[in-house]
Amino acid sequence: MTQTIQKKLNDYAWARWGAMVLIALMMLFAHMFVDVISPIKELVQVQRGWTSDIFGTFAGSEYLLNTCGFLIIAGIILDKMGIRFTGITSALVMIAGAGIKFYAVSDWFAGTALEGWLNSWWTAMPGSAKLASLGFMIFGCGAEMAGITASKALAKWFEGKEMALAMGLEMALTRVSVFIIFTISPRIAGIGGLDESIVRPVALCAALLVIGLLCYLVFCVMDKKLDSQLGADAVQGESEEEFKFADVINIFKSKLFWIVAMLCVLYYSAIFPFQKFAANMLQSNLGLSATMASDIFRWFPIGAACVTPFLGWYLDKKGKGASMLILGALLMIACHLTFALVLPLYPNKIVAYSAILLLGVSFSLVPASLWPSIPKIMDKHFLGSAYSLIFWVQNFGLMGMPIIIGWALEKCNPGVAEQIQAGVEGAAYNYTVPMLMFASLGVLALIFGLWLKVLDKRNGYGLELPNISK
């Protein structure tokens, strides 16, 4: 009887896994909004006059304000104010940014005085792209804040329990966003029909962000109940010590932090920016429509979704996190080299499907082993700041790589953008150079992964040890 009374809410499996689902839904809808335009890149070029370098600048704008320091502030807010305040705030910021982006690509914006003013300066970039980029910047602040909040929330609810499995499942559910959005976006946009429109899929995903906020509000009710059981120390910031700004300096002084951060930025810069161009890459190499190319790439997260829960279970029971990081980097290198060198010479759907599914497995290996490792190397009372600083470093790559890829596409394919906008049949980009650039990031990530494993073996950080102690 006494043991039952002393049980906390997160001791009940239904409660902690229910909390994970609510958090995952908010992140699922956020990731759907991130990639909503990616499958219809060519339609955006035709209807709004964007080129690949403009599209790349727009894609990179999501991370601009985060690299200017917002993510560091977000981490401090998270450690000071706690996961409930920070999560709700992040959802509201995402909705605000999504609203601006929706207005920018809508017909309501076309022909307005605002569009005329935006078109009057920096004429190389249309006003619609400028305003959409502003909205994406604001949305990106909320999305990254939500990401670090979700990580800390799961670390709190699954401490001493199935943390890696929970983080793996949350990531798996989130990754399904790629399958969903690459399936529905071209169809909702009406690709191939008489009423093609980029507005409809953007509007749908913006509405889903509101549903994500409602899911998180339900989680907040549960989390408040858990805090009342944990005691007064958990009410503000979920830590026993008051956060000090000096902690940020201490984190930056950590060599291990920088190794993990560089591994993170290199790996993710070869994944998320790739998603922006993946459908168009397949469209160009295989000679397919945007819908058919999206239908192939949508299977990318399925490998991750299937494998990640098992990897989380394995990490919890057996460990080997550092080894998984290395294997994930090797698989990513192989996949990007296939896209760069094999697919252009042998434009075969089976080759494309195989490389995409294998890349999905890689995408399950690295995140599933990386994020549960952070609590092992960072003090609990500034764990939120550690996550935010890693995300901050990561955002530099996520911002810069789409811009670089868009620029490289235009430089390697002079005149192709104009042909696409003019409706020239057969006009397509050559993606060999951009894909080699992605592969090179994988090589660098592999080097940092090997370095991390050597340090773990030498110093005993526990990255190869299971998360659940016997």
Q: Could you read off the pLDDT of 173-209 as tens digits, one per residue? A: 787 888 899 889 989 988 766 677 889 999 999 999 9
- pLDDT, position 93: 96
Percent of residues, the chain, with pLDDT higher than 90: 27
Arithmetic mean of pLDDT over the chain = 84
Phi, psi for residue 442 in degrees, rounded to 5? -65, -40
Structure confidence at residue 349 as a pLDDT band (50, 70, 90): very high
- pLDDT, position 131: 93
Handedness of CA 462, 465, 467, 470 (dihedral sign): negative
Higher pLDDT, 168 or 332: 332
| Span 416-439, pLDDT tens digits | 888 887 778 778 889 999 999 999
Task: Tell me how far apart the alpha carbons of residues 148 and 56 are, in angstroms, rounded to a whole number.
Answer: 25
- pLDDT, position 383: 67
Q: Are 466 and 321 in contact (CB under 8 A)?
A: no
How many C-beta atoms surround the C-beta of residue 374 within 10 A? 19
Helix, strand, coil tally for the chain in percent (to 5): 80, 0, 20
pLDDT of residue 128 exceeding 60, the answer is yes
The CA distances from residue 158 to 153, 222, 358, 398, in Å, are 9, 14, 29, 29
Higher pLDDT, 370 or 358: 358
Max Cα-Cα span within the chain: 76
Task: Tell me how far apart the alpha carbons of residues 293 and 282 are, in angstroms, rounded to a whole number.
Answer: 6
Residues belonging to the chain: 470
- pLDDT, position 76: 79
- Read off the pLDDT of each residue in 333-350 and give the average, rounded to a whole number: 93
- pLDDT, position 102: 93
- pLDDT, position 274: 92
Query: 76 is written with which tokens?
Result: 């401090």
- Domains annotated for the chain, with CATH where assigned, are 9-226+245-459 (1.20.1250.20)
| Span 232-249, pLDDT tens digits | 444 444 444 445 567 777
The single residue listed with the structure tokens 């805090």 is 227
Spell out the alpha helix ranges (H) of 62-126: 64-65, 71-105, 113-119
Spell out the alpha helix ranges (H) of 338-382: 349-370, 374-377
Q: Are 378 and 319 in contact (CB under 8 A)?
A: no
| Span 289-327, pLDDT tens digits | 888 988 898 888 776 677 767 776 777 777 777 788 888
- pLDDT, position 302: 78
DSSP string, 224-284: HHHHHHH-GGGTTTT-SS---THHHHHHHT-HHHHHHHHHHHHHHHTTHHHHHHHHHHHHH
Structure confidence at residue 162 as a pLDDT band (50, 70, 90): confident
Max avg pLDDT among 36-50, 129-143, 283-297, 449-463: 129-143
pLDDT of residue 390 exceeding 70, the answer is yes
| Span 55-107, pLDDT tens digits | 888 888 888 888 887 877 887 788 788 889 999 999 999 999 999 999 998 88
Handedness of CA 189, 195, 197, 200 (dihedral sign): negative
